[in-house]
Amino acid sequence: MTNTTSATGTATLKPLRPGMFVLPDRLDAPARLLGGRCRACGETFFPKRAYCAGCTSGDQEDVEFGAEGVIETFTVVYQQLPGSAMVPPYAIVRVKLDDGPSVQTVAANCDPTSIRIGDRVQLIVHKVMDDAAGNTIVSFMAQPAKRA
């Protein structure tokens, strides 16, 4: 995975944790998560695994998952953890991807108290913070899906 310059050309986007998603060329672009699928039983995983948790096969293939899904569960956090970049209140959500496994992330671009189980969301690449070198550190987060 390579770093990319943001749409403004002023900062480099850097993943908080490399290898988790395809790094886009701009903030708030749909997130394509990098996971795996067991060739033996079809089970999907995020992040990638060497062995299937379902059947223990080591025959895994790399998969890029889509950005759409449904909230399975969530919690709203009101207390800031020491050293955390997240400022409360915020919601931690578990999202069942339309074409893959369930993933846990933070909700973005919404009021955390308005989130409901069953809400449709889109995973996006969202700013977490800026580092000392001026890079924009990003991760994948869930935002309410745009309604048609």
SS3 19: coil
Statement: residue 81 has pLDDT above 80: yes
pTM of the model: 0.87
**Chain centroid to CA 92: how far?**
11
Note the pLDDT of residue 6. Answer: 42
Strands 12-15, 4-5: pairing is antiparallel
Measured from the Cβ of residue 37, the count of other Cβ atoms closer than 10 Å reads 20
Note the pLDDT of residue 2. Answer: 45
Note the pLDDT of residue 148. Answer: 58
Statement: residue 125 has pLDDT above 70: yes
Phi/psi of residue 118, each to 5°? 95, -10
pLDDT, mean of residues 120-128:
97
The phi-psi region of residue 134 (left if phi > 0; otherwise alpha if psi is between -120 and 50; otherwise beta) is left
Phi/psi of residue 113, each to 5°? -80, -5
